[in-house]
Amino acid sequence: MGRLTGKVAVILGASDARSMGAATARRFVEEGAQVVLAARRKEAVEEIAAELGGIGVACDIADEASLAALAQTALEHYGHLDIAVNYAGQSAQASVLDVTAESLRSQSDIHFVGTALFIKHMAKAMTGGGSIITASSLTVLVQAPDLGAYAGSKGGADVYVRVAANELGARGIRVNSIAPGFTKSAMTEDYFGIEAVTNAFLKEMPLGRFPTVEDVANTALWLASDEAFVTGQRIDVTAGQALRRTPRADEFV
């Protein structure tokens, strides 16, 4: 008997085997869940889903109809939806002086509007209660230069999570976020190739090692299971870096 036996989970952002989404899918399946994996790249996500005995669906978080269809697919295939995890994200960099309205809007579309509409459509499909989890970020907790649009839209989503948790509690739906730190994943692979960057970051992590996608998956498992009497919270997976700071660029030596 696994910790998620009998549960159906949607995981958005699982098109790469090294991603948080794929790691979460593996962990959930180990614990007995059935999974619907989603991402923009249909073939890639179908391949990962097939390995786990789940189904893969194309979904773009910036498209509301596509989110509604994702929830419907879970209901049509498995009859119910209990858990929904959103890792869809995209990093964009620009200084406060150079940022464009276009970039701010696009980051908001993905992280703020996208998260809000993900919560909306997953919650509507969760007729018997459930757990919705979305990815926040270390950048919400300690400031990083040039990530204003990214951090601002993620931070806005965290506030939305609290509002959603308050409203959806009556339906037995819990809503929380996970704030990963500097985690080696498909999205951050380029940074991990630069030793000056990884060294500087490691010094700011009290636990002395980088968070892994497995750490994030285990956190998602805790929040997903019926045991967690937790809602409206942001759970930290930053190796304690939230207690410290983001290293400055001049420290990348």
Partner 1 sequence: MSGRLAGKAALVVGAAGKDNMAQVIARRFAAEGAKVVVAGRNRAILDTLAEEIGGIAVECDFTDRVSIFAMVETTREALGGIDIAVNATGWGLLKPFLETTDDDFDRMYALQLRGPFQFAQALIPVMQDKGGSIIQVTSATASIMFHDHSAYMATKAGTDHMLRTIANEFGHLGIRVNSISPGVTETPMTAEAAAVPGLMDAFAKGYPLGRYGTSQDIAAGCVWLASDECFMTGETMQVNGGLTLRGNPTKDAIEASVAAAMTQQG
Single residue of 118, 213, 236, 246 touching partner 1 by CB under 8 A: 236
Q: Is 140 in the site for partner 1 (CB under 8 A)?
A: no
Measured from the CB atom, the residue of 103 and 169 that comes closer to partner 1 is 169
Choose one: 48-56, 73-81, 146-154, 233-241; the region binding partner 1 (CB under 8 A). Answer: 233-241
Q: Is 194 in the site for partner 1 (CB under 8 A)?
A: no
Choose one: 107-115, 132-140, 185-193, 209-217; the region binding partner 1 (CB under 8 A). Answer: 209-217
- From 78, 150, 160, 191, active-site residue: 150
Binding mask 144-183 for partner 1 (x = CB under 8 A): ------------------x--xxxxxx-x-x---------
CA-CA distance, 34 to 228, in Å (whole number)?
20
CA-CA distance, 61 to 65, in Å (whole number)?
9
Give yes or no for a contact between 126 and 81, defined as CB atoms under 8 angstroms apart: yes
Residue with tokens 């806005």: 156
DSSP 145-186: TTBHHHHHHHHHHHHHHHHHHHHHGGGTEEEEEEEE-S--ST
Considering Cα of 15, then 19, then 24, then 29, what sign does the dihedral take?
Answer: positive
Which own/partner pairs from 101-108 qualify as long-range (CB within 8 Å, at least 24 positions apart)? 103/149, 104/149, 104/152, 107/149, 107/150, 107/152, 107/153, 108/149, 108/153, 108/156
Q: Which helix (H) or strand (E) holds 86?
A: strand 83-86
User: Residue 150 catalytic?
Assistant: yes
Q: Is 228 in the site for partner 1 (CB under 8 A)?
A: yes
Nearest distance from residue 9's CB to partner 1, in Å?
17
Single residue of 24, 155, 239, 247 touching partner 1 by CB under 8 A: 239
Choose one: 38-46, 56-64, 86-94, 227-235; the region binding partner 1 (CB under 8 A). Answer: 227-235
Single residue of 76, 207, 245, 248 touching partner 1 by CB under 8 A: 207
Nearest distance from residue 205's CB to partner 1, in Å?
7
CB count in 10 Å sphere of residue 64: 16
Residue 249 backbone phi and psi in degrees, to 5: -60, -35
Contact positions vs partner 1 (CB under 8 A): 162, 165-170, 172, 174, 205-208, 211-212, 215, 218-219, 221-222, 227-233, 235-237, 239-240, 242-244
Question: Mind telling me the catalytic residues?
Answer: 150
